[in-house]
Amino acid sequence: MALQTKNVIFTAEKTDLQGYLAWNEDQDGSRPAVLVFPEWWGLNNYIKKRTEQVASLGYLAMGVDMYGNGKTADHPEEAGSLMNGVLGDLELLKSRVEAAYQSLRNEELADPNRMGAIGYCFGGALVLNMARFGMDLQAVVSFHGALDSMQKPNPGEVKAKILVCHGAADEFIPEEAIVNFKKEMEEASADYEFVDYQGALHGFTNPAADERGKAFNLPLAYDENADRQSWQAMESHFKKMF
């Protein structure tokens, strides 16, 4: 398989944001297009690797920079500050996710009628809210993402079929948030699936989580089984939708 990658620039409200595109060159014609939204660390090598893995499944994938100019963070304080700068400004957030969506949708290889999005932690929160905003996505997948709602959808507004991959031992997501999320989805008549991975902590898909958890005294850990199972769940979710 001849996997190709390239960096692209897209703009939202005068801020240049980076996209990391990946696709299989051996494949002919247009294909479903999937946005890959990062953890609060930003568009780093981990997210680029995930973008390539999505592309290897036969999709056009784009890792998304939400901070501007490809900025990344290595320390939780800086990452939290960057993330909260986006989460605290709904119009800014909307403009950036919409700009990323349009950038990928306009790519020559993208099938504009088959669009999806996945996200990790911060990115998981983003894709769930993109679904709540009623964006024209067929499928979204959140991996250990925050569940809080930025905009309560009305019945029928959620177009995307939602898959939530959640670590049952995640200390960052309170039980109340899970209850509220499910209630909100049911009231919106959304098509969603919520999967718990027993014993899995926050960050369960990222092999760097163990090291970061120790370094910063945070309840983070990689879980190989949950990582594998959640990826397989994403694959079958996309196969059904695309």
CATH (residue range 3-241): 3.40.50.1820
With b for 16 or more beta-carbon neighbours within 10 A and e for fewer, the 48-87 pattern comes to bebbbebbebebbbbbbbbbbebebbeebeebeebbeebb
Here the tokens at position 17 are 């944001």
Sheet with 139-143, side-by-side order of all strands: 3-12, 15-24, 60-64, 31-37, 110-120, 139-143, 161-167, 192-197
Q: How confident is the model at residue 1 (pLDDT cuts 50, 70, 90)?
A: confident
- The whole-number average pLDDT for the span 194-211 is 98
Tens-place pLDDT, residues 113-150: 999 999 999 999 999 999 999 999 999 999 999 999 99
pTM of the model: 0.98
Looking at residue 163, its pLDDT comes to 98
Tens-place pLDDT, residues 3-14: 999 999 999 999
Return all residues near 92 (Cβ < 8 A) that are at least 6 apart.
12, 13, 86
Looking at residue 117, its pLDDT comes to 98
